[in-house]
Structure 1
Amino acid sequence: MNEKLEGKEAAMKFVNKNFPECHAALLSGSVVRGEDTETSDLDIVVFDEKLLSSYRESLYEFGWPIEVFAHNFTSYKEFYKSDVKRARPSLPRMVAEGIIIKEDVRMKALKQEAVEILEKGPPPWTEKDIRAKRYFLTDTLDDFIGCEDRAEGMFISQTLAELTAEFVLRTNNQWVGSSKWWARALRQFDKEFAERLFKTLDCYYRNDEKEQVVNVVEGVLRPYGGRLFDGFSMGKEGWRS
């Protein structure tokens, strides 16, 4: 196993070795935020106008697992659009927070574009979106309440937690995430609510107590009309004569 170098040094050596002719590169992720752990990797964004298309690659060098996100100076825009559409700004966040390890005159504009995307937030949910999400959250809540199998309940609770987090964040025009980013996004938006949700879920995991979880989810739905089942439909068309 290679000796583990300091994060920025490892990133610079990696880029010099594997992308010596690239035009620009950024180091991003937990190392830059000062949140790295023993299992953290290095997120490196590379820009090279000679690349025909974007790609992602995972490697291990200089003692680090390394995730490479390679783009040319136009292909990244499709990833920006996709990230905004799904409200998960993975690439804009990496570019905005990243530290430059190989400079290019275009980097200032690229970083500013990413910052503006993050500040603007995702496109707001429509009334139709909210109605659909109310239905799916209600459906999952009912499954959770009625479930008598402990193993099934664990999986349902995970889905319920993510749907609840999504509903809170998106109805408030906030970015969402996946995995650990659900917790981070919730804490950033409303730390008090986030901790209340986490504690009720922990109470369920430890003691199989559902009531507090149900109360939190119903409280989230209440300002938007509460639970929704009766009368909900998707894709229904009128009769043809």
Structure 2
Amino acid sequence: MSSRDADDTAGPVDQARRFAATHFPDALGVVLAGSTASGRTSATSDLDIAVLIEDGGETRRETLRFEGRLVELFVHTRAGLEGLFAADAASRRATMQHMYADGLVLFEREGAAARAKRHAEEALLKGPDALTPATVESRRYGLTDALDDLVDATDVVERLAVAGVVLSAAADLLFDHHRAWAGGGKWLPRRLLQADPRHGAALLDGHRRLCESGEPQGLASAAADVLTLAGGPLREGYARTWNSAAPVSEAAPDRT
């Protein structure tokens, strides 16, 4: 972090320390994550704060305001943190693991936050479990279908809607191809570029150009390249069965 970045973030970081001292003086550890910890803070940035407390407490998430700034608060016991790590790994986003691994330790007792940080770093290095072959097939089929719709779309609004589906579906397959952690919202482009600078950048550039000009070919070409990495287009021969007692995790494309 440059000296300018340090100066820019000193205020919010000190604010986070005051919040921790005021609300959680007995915590095992307090970690500041998000844009403030990474030096991307702005006047409207909130404070993402993870708080490790003694067992017997309550694991919860809460949004509140402190000294005029929003605070996104994640409070958890040791057992609660393990549960959050497991749930976030299953979601393939590892949100809490990234908070600890990339965050700034504001306070800790007996190395508790440092241990949690190391645990998070190890989990991130391992990466998410690979998608099952059936899930990959379903997503290949879905992306193939969405690409057909993207090329055929004549309505501007429909084309933009389908473009979002194509970007999301291609990103999911690209993340799985590299066993990389996924992301949503502003973290989708960041994680895409981390996972695959070439294909990720092509997807994002194609999506941007479509939004700006309506031209779909760049996005269609980039998504087709990702589809090739995942095994290629899938149309004829695709079939699925469902157990009626189990939830359907992969909805069929809307062909109406």
Fold match by TM threshold 0.5: yes
| 1:57-112 C-alpha deviation (Å, 9 max, x unpaired) | 11111232110000011111111011111110110111112222221222222111
Inter-partner Cα distance in structure 2 for 1:235 and 1:158:
27
Corresponding residue number in structure 2 for 1:196: 202
| 1:114-169 C-alpha deviation (Å, 9 max, x unpaired) | 11001111011232222111011112222222222211221221121111111111
Q: What is the identity, as a one-letter code, of the residue corresponding to 1:98?
A: G
Corresponding residue number in structure 2 for 1:180: 186
Note if 1:127 corresponds to 2:130. Answer: no
Inter-partner Cα distance in structure 1 for 2:56 and 2:63:
17
Segment of structure 1 superposing worse, 95-104 or 178-187: 95-104
Inter-partner Cα distance in structure 1 for 2:230 and 2:175:
14
Corresponding residue number in structure 2 for 1:110: 116
Corresponding residue number in structure 2 for 1:39: 44
The percentage of counterpart residues that share the same residue type is: 27
Q: 1:153 aligns with which of 145, 155, 159?
A: 159
Note if 1:165 corresponds to 2:175. Answer: no
Q: What is the identity, as a one-letter code, of the residue corresponding to 1:76?
A: L
Tell me how far 1:208 sits from its aligned partner: 1.5
Cα 1:235–1:104 change in 2 (3 A) is farther
Superposed counterparts of 1:7-86, under 5 Å:
7-49=12-54, 52-86=57-91
Structure 1 residue ranges, 4+ long, deviating more than 4 angstroms after superposition: none
Inter-partner Cα distance in structure 2 for 1:152 and 1:135:
20
Q: What is the identity, as a one-letter code, of the residue corresponding to 1:53?
A: E
Tell me how far 1:9 sits from its aligned partner: 1.0
| 1:180-201 C-alpha deviation (Å, 9 max, x unpaired) | 1110011112223232222222
Corresponding residue number in structure 2 for 1:144: 150
Task: Give TM-score, length-normalised by structure 2.
Answer: 0.85
The answer on whether the counterparts of 1:125 and 1:171 sit within 8 Å (CA) in structure 2 is no
Segment of structure 1 superposing worse, 169-178 or 145-154: 145-154
Taking only aligned residues, the RMSD between alpha carbons, in angstroms, comes to 1.9
The answer on whether the counterparts of 1:5 and 1:63 sit within 8 Å (CA) in structure 2 is no
The answer on whether the counterparts of 1:31 and 1:40 sit within 8 Å (CA) in structure 2 is yes
Tell me how far 1:236 sits from its aligned partner: 5.0
SS at match of 1:74: helix
Cα 1:236–1:65 change in 2 (3 A) is closer
**Which runs of 5 or more structure 1 residues have no equivalent in the other structure?**
none
Paired residue total: 234
SS at match of 1:66: strand
Segment of structure 1 superposing worse, 190-199 or 157-166: 190-199
SS at match of 2:48: strand
Corresponding residue number in structure 1 for 2:223: 217
**Which runs of 5 or more structure 2 residues have no equivalent in the other structure?**
1-8, 244-256
Corresponding residue number in structure 2 for 1:95: 100
Q: What is the identity, as a one-letter code, of the residue corresponding to 1:200?
A: G
